[in-house]
Structure 1
Amino acid sequence: MYGIRSVLLGGTAGIAALGTAHAADLPVKKGAPIEYVRVCGAYGAGFFYIPGTDTCLRISGRARFEAGTIPNPDRSRGSGDASQFRGLLRIALDARTQTDYGTLRAFVRAEMASRSGTLLSSATQLRIANSFYATGQDAFSRVQNFVVTEKAFIQFAGLTAGRASSFFDFYAHDYELIGTTGGSDISSTNLLAYTKTFDGGLSATISMEDPAFRRQPVYSPSFTTTGATVGASTFLGIGSNAPAPIILTMNGFDATNAAYLDAVQRSRLPDFVGALRYDAPWGSAQLSAALHETNVGGFLTTAGVGGAAGPGPAATQALLAARGIRSGAQTADGWAVQGGVKVNLPMIAPGDGFYLQGAYAEGAILYTGYTYLTGSYSTNLTPVQGASFNQYVPDAVINPLTGKLDLTKAFTVSAAYLHYWTPQWRSAFFGSYGHVNFSKGTRQAFSLLGTNFPTGTPPNAFTNPAAFALSPVLRDNGQITAGASIIWSPVKDLDIGVEGTYIGTSVLEGRVADATRPGNDANGVPIHTVKRYDATQIRMRVQRDF
């Protein structure tokens, strides 16, 4: 046995030696070098080099839970929700490369959320294609999800191109949780801009921006025929449940006998925005201006809708031409200006700051932010669900006697103060006021058309002045908001807070019919009237940024 083991061990050693000899003759193949992720300190904390490149990348995100309530005693007309919930996630990538022309930057950010309750299931976001909603009987418009390209822009040598915040904006609800005050706040729009930075903290920007995200519809009620309202969805053959993309007036111009006006605004020109900004250790200041086109398409050539006649004869066109209108199609140039200042107040407490901002617009209401709480992209809606009357907030109104666009005027002024009680506890105090004004003559002109317009249009100003005076249609309106918050940050990048807001909406003169208590007397005059609607909203938030 011992002899056999000796032979086997000797043979194994010989084979190993032979293998070693042959291995020495083979080429040596080196392993690929391992490149470890390196920290990039050129652009602040959190950046690292993408392996194999000279590009620095930062990955960040957010997780948020929100819940809130707003009193709503009205359970009719689809109202009644008092609670709201939302869960939100955000993922962002920030890539930067140093070049001979300065920093080349690409920034992308996506947001996804699930929300419920009509207070957080935003109809505004539905109207602008930023969300989709459930279809169940108890979930329709009350359960909503969204996936949004919130940011996607490139910055290079002073250029900014892509989806970004409007350069018109300044305060943009910086200190608020809910974001109820007036003031422009378009977090995402498509734009191409150039910024020139001067010595001393001064910069100037000229920006070409997407008009779709700043457009309030032109007011022009749907028409009626044979006693029934005929919406644009019927006219276009889309289906009775489809939202009406076109609103028409029937026989709307008594002075011209024209019918069927296409009031949809087309994207014909971009908005042009200019901003002058100054940044210094004490704070910052900005002056912004914008040009915004409002337009209508003109008279439709199709006749026979609901048995009604088509456009008027040549004499009608002649009357329109005398008013400077060609086939009904026309354009009006809206505009807006905004000024704001932010003051840092470290002498009170580190991190303290104060904003003051004001905006004015004609034919460009969204630049004032007046509709931010109530809702945008609609000619009229209630300030909160179940309110007693509608606010009217179109960019312009088609005068039914002249056929011309009458631009709407609006302004807002807002202020906000942030105070740190301790490094872990802070509070914000904020408020705003704004109002919208319409041409008085335009409102009276609508009342002359009587039954050609749907329920809610002002009754005739001359044959029934009492009913006309109580109609909310195209009434000047104002809104005041005021609120405060308390936020606890026990550790870095974690916020746990609650915010309460008061919202007061009113007509600026007289009273209007109370939509929650309908009823007229024998003369068609509303029995129940109101002048203002007051509401409060409370929302809490738990948020982690990383």
Structure 2
Amino acid sequence: MKLVKSLLLGSAAGLAAVAGAHAADLPAKKAAPVEYVRVCSTYGAGFFYIPGTETCLRVSGRVRADYLFGQAFSRASDTVGFRTRGRIQLDARTATAYGLLRSVVRFEITRSSGTPFGNTGTVGSSSPNVAEAFVQFGGLTAGRVTSFFDNGDLPTGHMGTLRFSDAPDVDLLAYTFSFGNGFSATLSLEDGLERRNGAVAGAFSYGGQRVPDVVGNVKYTGTWGTAQLSAAVHQIRSANLFTTAGFAQFPDTEYGFAVTGQVGINLPMLAPGDAAWLAATYANGALGYITGGANNSIGVGTLSGPTVDAFFNPATGNVSKSNAWSVAGGFRHYWTPQIRQNVFGSYARFDYSAAANIAGLPDFNEWRVGTNVFWSPVSGLDMGVEVLYAKVDPRNRVVLPLGASQSSWEGRLRVQRDF
């Protein structure tokens, strides 16, 4: 047995040696190189290098669910509303010899139903939206991004609507000059169609846009907070036709304007994260810089007031500009690192001249005040409730559909996850 066992072991060893010798003579196939994703810490958390490039990319998103209760003023009105929003955002950045090259795309899809998210009594509908898509190269910004009329660094925290421009996204072409030490200035050409307030029957009708809105700002950002002074010029080109001395002609093109001062102040001496903000705005013929965009009216319940940039006087063939101003502000306080509260409000006043009686435009003001509380049990998750009170109050020339003042309450519940 020992002899047989020795012969078997010897044969196996010999075969292994022969096989190894032949394998060494065969051509070897090298393994493909593995390219690992590298973390890019230059621009903050979440960025990584796109393999094979020096471009850093961050993928982020949001899921938001809103539930709203609004005071009903008729049996046909919805009392509750639902809104669900999904967001995907890509932020790509590359360091170049000319400065930072950055591109951002933010897609949002929103499904809304019920008051005031959708039309009363209708089933919810989905609305895809390219919320932002822009390129920044050095000081150049091109695409759709937050209007440079607004200070996007304000520590606002409201869910409902307040009456100031409130950082809407618009299509624009801008250049920012950085002076160092937190100071900068921007000159921006922005889409005026998104700021139009008009189209009131028998009063004023906009013609085609010939020049964009011109927006400029001066901004400071420092450890104590941020401050910005902005101005905008808005074209008012009427499509109304009037006849005088037997000739039909269009009124002269007018230009409205708006100015705003917006300040945010950090208050860490109260609690880490505490802050306050204030925005004061005046508009002459450019009410979209107070209402936040293209609106023909604002209101509460069944009472609404017209927000018209200008009105046409058929007796003279002239276009008269409207005036409005607003003050908005708020305060944020962290009761604990996980629980914060915002208190906020706004007051807006809309004034039309005596000639506006021809167009049936009454003066009015609007109050809005509210508060909310958010709980963030883990990073990226917010759960909050909000209550908001609003009141519209007609003044001076009271013309239907305005009558006595009217007010309403609304409440919101929000669950939001950012990642």
TM-score normalised to the size of structure 1?
A: 0.71
| 2:172 paired with 1:212 | no
- Report the equivalent of 1:244: none
Residue 169 of structure 2 is aligned with which of 188, 196, 199? Answer: 188
Q: CA deviation at 1:114?
A: 1.2
How far apart, CA to CA, are the structure 2 residues paired with 1:351 and 1:378?
34
Which amino acid in 1 is paired with 2:380?
D
Partner of 1:110: 107
**1:535 equivalenced with 2:399 (yes/no):** no
Give the secondary-structure state (helix, strand or coil) at the position aligned to 1:213: helix
- Separation in 2 of the partners of 1:354 and 1:171? 14
Identity within the alignment, %: 43
Q: Deviations over 1:362-387 (max 9, x none)?
A: 11101123xx5xxx634345x13x41
Give the TM-score taking structure 2 as reference length. 0.91
Q: State whether residues 88 and 114 of structure 1, in contact with CA within 8 Å, keep that contact through their aligned partners in structure 2.
A: yes
Segments of 5+ residues of structure 1 without an aligned counterpart are 1-7, 124-136, 222-248, 250-260, 300-310, 321-326, 447-472, 516-528
In the alignment, which of 370, 373, 378 is matched to residue 491 of structure 1? 378
Match of 1:482 in 2: 369
Q: Deviations over 1:480-536 (max 9, x none)?
A: 1011111111111111110111101011226555x6xxxxxxxxxxxxx84211011
Matches within 5 A, 1:71-220: 71-75=71-75, 79-121=76-118, 138-139=121-122, 143-170=124-151, 174-220=155-201
Deviation per CA, 1:342-363, whole angstroms, max 9, x where unpaired? 1110001110111111001111
Cα drift, residue 420 of structure 1: 0.7
Cα distance in structure 2, aligned partners of 1:179 and 1:187:
14
Counterpart amino acid of residue 294 in structure 2: Y
Deviation of residue 115 (structure 1)?
Answer: 1.3
Give the aligned partner of residue 246 of structure 2: 316
Letter of the aligned partner of 1:434 in structure 2? A
- Residues 367-412 of structure 1 deviation map (CA, whole Å, 9 limit, x = unaligned): 123xx5xxx634345x13x41x331111111112112211111111
In the TM superposition, what whole-angstrom CA distance separates every residue of 1:443-494 from its partner, at most 9, and x where no partner exists?
Answer: 1x45xxxxxxxxxxxxxxxxxxxxxxxxxx3001110101111111111111
Which amino acid in 1 is paired with 2:366?
Q
**Residue of structure 2 equivalent to 1:276:** 218
Separation of aligned partners in 2, 1:488 and 1:70: 23
Q: 1:282 to 1:80 in 2, by over 3 A?
A: same
Is the 8 Å Cα contact of residues 172 and 183 (structure 1) preserved in structure 2? no
Instruction: Please show how residues 344-383 of structure 1 align to structure 2 within 5 Å.
Output: 344-369=266-291, 372=292, 377-380=294-297, 383=299
Alignment pair present for 1:406 and 2:320: yes
Distance 2:295 2:182 in 1: 39
Deviation, structure 1 residue 117:
0.3
1:19-54, CA deviations, whole angstroms, 9 ceiling, x for partnerless residues? 655543333221111111111111111111111111
Question: Where does 1:44-63 land on structure 2 (aligned, <5 Å)?
Answer: 44-63=44-63
Q: CA deviation at 1:102?
A: 1.9
**Structure 1 393/195 Cα, relative in aligned 2: closer, same or farther at 3 Å?**
same
Task: Specify the alignment match of 1:330 in structure 2.
Answer: 252
Pairwise CA distance, 1:200? 1.7
Q: SS at the partner of 2:356?
A: helix
Contact 2:157 2:332 in 1 (8 A): no
- Superposed CA deviations along residues 144-196 of structure 1, whole A, max 9, x for unmatched, are 21111011111111111111000001268853342321111243211111111
Gaps of 5+ in 2: 1-7
Indicate whether 1:285 and 2:202 are aligned: no
2:306 aligned to 378, 384, 392, which one? 392
Inter-CA distance 392–404: structure 2 relative to 1 (3 Å threshold) = same
Residue 34 of structure 1 aligns to a residue in which SS?
A: coil
Equivalent AA in structure 2 for residue 157 of structure 1: G
SS at match of 1:198: strand
Residues 280-336 of structure 1 show CA distances to partners (whole Å, capped at 9, x for unaligned) of 11111100000110112354xxxxxxxxxxx86x9421xx6xxxxxx2153110111
1:434 aligns with 2:348: yes
Instruction: Tell me how far 1:265 sits from its aligned partner.
Output: 2.8
Mapped partners of 1:510, 1:271: distance in 2: 31
Matches of 1:490 and 1:406, distance apart in 2: 54
Distance 1:298 1:96 in 2: 48
| Structure 2 contact 288–295 (Cα < 8 Å) conserved | no
- Structure 1 residues 186, 281: closer, same or farther in 2, change over 3 A? closer
C-alpha change, 1:201 and 1:380, in structure 2 (3 Å) is: closer
Number of aligned residue pairs? 415
Give the Å deviation of 1:56: 0.8
Paired residues of 2:361 and 2:399 also in contact (CA < 8 A): no
2:38 counterpart residue number: 38
Change (3 A) 1:316 1:173: farther
Q: CA deviation at 1:18?
A: 6.7
Does the residue aligned with 2:387 lie in a helix, a strand or coil? strand
CA contact (8 A) 2:187 2:215 kept: yes
Contact conserved, 1:217 with 1:265, CA < 8 A, in 2?
no
Check the 8 A contact 1:50/1:57 in 2, yes or no.
Answer: yes
Contact 1:219/1:396 (CA < 8 Å) preserved in 2?
no
Letter in 1 for 2:104: F
Greater share of residues in strand = 2
Q: 1:352·1:419 contact (CA, 8 Å) conserved in 2?
A: yes
